[in-house]
Structure 1
Amino acid sequence: MNVIDENGNLFGVVNAIDALAILVVLTVLTAGATLVLSGSNDRTQTSEPEPIRYATVSYTVPLTSDAAAIDTGTMISPSGSDETFQVEDVHRSFSNSSAHIVARVSYRGTPRANGGRIYGGDTIAMVTNSYRFRTTVLSVNDTAKEIRRTTVPVVVRASVDEAVARAIRSGQQVEIQNQTVASIQSVSRRSGTGNEQVVRVEIELAARTQKQVPMFGGNQIRLGSRISIVTDNFMMRGSVISVESRASEELSDRHTAGNEERSSDNPPDTIEQQ
């Protein structure tokens, strides 16, 4: 029996041209079904991005350093690593005559540096485009984007020379990189030893809270703690002799209860210019 007879029929039943057309249609339909199923599988396998988490780092640098001017939106990276973190919030205060910076940075997944996981308490060198600085990691996996803050009224007593005593005036707003860190409410003076005077200064400190404890300059604010205030006209370092027991908290409306910082905060960090 011939495959195609004298009438052009395949096996004497189906016209060969019709059979070829049917084969083409079946091929196209099979290919289309494969693409549809493949696309469905791709969508099924696509996972949601990991949620944003936050880490808190601190460091101490000179007041005039570029690192003291770090701001929201700045990208920082562990030295020698491809990992990047974005700065979301910054709190500034004084540590002696230097700037003490606490920054909250964002990331997805697991925070890493040089191939290893970052933990609270680690010390890591961070870099940006223009400088490098060593940070202490206060916490990781925070859920709050902003640093928790509070205003703490204190009274500080210090022995200073006469020129400094005259330069301290009530109503002064003390700033670091255009961020208000303290407000001098009142000052009283009395004679001290030699050319020194003893000043008693009421100050409202812009502090941050760590485990419900107010912090300034990397130290707890409490009786006997040392507080530094630096302006263009004077530097004063004295002891806290009074702390208002009920400080008013100034929390962001967007702040939600998250993980509190879990590590001590008193790093002797320095900056290295690149």
Structure 2
Amino acid sequence: MPLIDDDGNLLGVINVIDALVVVLLLVVVAAGIGLVISVNSDGEPAAGAGPNGDPETRYVTLELRSQPDYVADRLDENETAAIAGTDDNITLTDVFVTAPTVNETQTVRVRAAVEGLTDDDTHDRNHFRVGGDPLRIGDGLRLDLGWHATNVTVTDLSTEGETLAIERTTTVVDVELDNVDPNVADELAENMTETVRGETIATIESVEREPATVIIESDDGNIYEREHPRNERVTLTVELRTTEHERETGTRFRGERLGAGTTIALDLDTTTVSGTVTDIE
């Protein structure tokens, strides 16, 4: 049997023109499926489209939220952590720890160098991809440090080494401790320090003591201020290791905003005290 007969049918069954139309339709459908697979609704290469882009190092800020003090104390700069679900690692470049809370947890924020790929989607938006997925502010990751695993949140992304643009500063403040037992006041002296992770973050420069005052009401309803018969008011002049953030106003101590009226705790050599900041030099 000839391939095309006298009536123009392919193998005597299908018209040649009809066959060409079917082939053309199959090609168009296949191309459309390929486009849907390679690009998602946001104009980004979809999962499974394959790795692409230019290698780049970004510096991210990661919020670890509350961590036990034994975890915060062990975190070190230059430590490497694996990103769960990927073959990628990050390297910690800076570690910032806030003051311990009443339940002995500390808020930890780290900066880290991350290796990834950058590419542009169909809308010319640049994406930084780690493990094949875009990494954005607000994303959650799980880090495996080997000795500890924890969930973190991306709070900043930068191409510069100083992700947070944090400047380490020194701030001298007056801290007033009111109604202090004399035995506690006796423990406070110049040059006492608080040390966190091997770094001195607070040093007492001077100690001033005076009788504490109490407010009493007389039988006729008048209000009087009188000296406390025993307790004292202690004013500490303290040098603090503080930080300033280019995107935030004010000075921070242990990650918390520092200002007149702020209550801070000092874990000193032999005692722990809490007082109110009354003056910032």
**Counterpart residue identity of residue 135, structure 2:** R
1:125–1:47: structure 2 CA closer, same or farther, 3 Å change rule? closer
Match of 2:135?
Answer: 117
Match of 1:66?
Answer: 71
1:139 to 156, 159, 162: 156
**Counterpart residue identity of residue 156, structure 2:** S
Q: CA deviation at 1:90?
A: 2.3
Residue 88 in 1 paired to residue 93 in 2?
Answer: yes
**Counterpart residue identity of residue 209, structure 1:** E
Describe the superposition over 1:222-274 as per-residue Cα deviations: whole angstroms up to 9, x where unpaired.
11122121134211222111111xxxxxxxxxxxxxxxxxxxxxxxxxxxxxx
Q: CA deviation at 1:75?
A: 1.6
Contact kept? 1:78, 1:84, Cα under 8 Å = yes
Contact kept? 1:157, 1:199, Cα under 8 Å = yes
Contact kept? 1:217, 1:227, Cα under 8 Å = no
Match of 2:115?
Answer: 108
Which is bigger in relative contact order (C-alpha 8 A, separation at least 6)?
Answer: 1
Task: Determine what percentage of the aligned residue pairs are the same residue.
Answer: 23
**Counterpart residue identity of residue 187, structure 2:** A
Q: CA deviation at 1:201?
A: 0.9
Residue 234 in 1 paired to residue 271 in 2?
Answer: yes
Query: In structure 1, how many angstroms separate the alpha carbons of the residues matched to 2:252 and 2:88?
Result: 29
1:205 to 237, 240, 265: 240
SS of 2:186's equivalent in the other structure is helix
Q: CA deviation at 1:157?
A: 1.2
Describe the superposition over 1:82-112 as per-residue Cα deviations: whole angstroms up to 9, x where unpaired.
5422111223442446544432211123365
Q: Tell me the C-alpha RMSD between the 2 structures.
A: 3.2
Gaps of 5+ in 2: 1-51, 117-127, 213-227
Describe the superposition over 1:175-205 as per-residue Cα deviations: whole angstroms up to 9, x where unpaired.
1121111111111123336864322111111
Match of 2:177?
Answer: 158
Query: In structure 2, how many angstroms separate the alpha carbons of the residues matched to 1:138 and 1:161?
Result: 43
SS of 2:73's equivalent in the other structure is helix
More strand by share: 2
**Counterpart residue identity of residue 149, structure 1:** R
Query: In structure 2, how many angstroms separate the alpha carbons of the residues matched to 1:104 and 1:81?
Result: 19
